[in-house]
Amino acid sequence: MPTASIGLFSFYGQANVKNKLRIIEIFHKNLPFFGNDLQVLATGLVITILPSLNEMNEGLVRDVTNLLDLLARPDLIGLDILA
């Protein structure tokens, strides 16, 4: 997943809301399996999804916020890396 995610980062930025929601769902479902290995992708992932917090779609903003909360867990990326 981490290697495949790199291609999704550029796609995500240009995707419509429906596709963004699906990509966030995929990340939320699969990223926890990789644990601390996600630290390599932390910067790119966060830079990719943060602009979605300015979207007018409440569901997308909620899903991005939930994904950021998930990534902030110490067993994944952690707050110290995200900050």
Q: Which pLDDT does position 32 carry in this prediction?
A: 82
pLDDT recorded at residue 69: 92
Spans of the chain, pLDDT less than 70: 1-6, 83
Alpha helices, DSSP H, located in 1-83: 2-14, 17-30, 42-49, 58-71, 79-82
Per-residue confidence (pLDDT) for residue 4, from 0 to 100: 53
> How high is the pLDDT of residue 80?
76
pLDDT (tens digit per residue) in 32-52? 887 877 777 778 888 889 999
Neighbour tally for 30: CB within 10 Å: 13
Single pTM value for the model: 0.82
| pLDDT (0 to 100) of residue 34 | 79
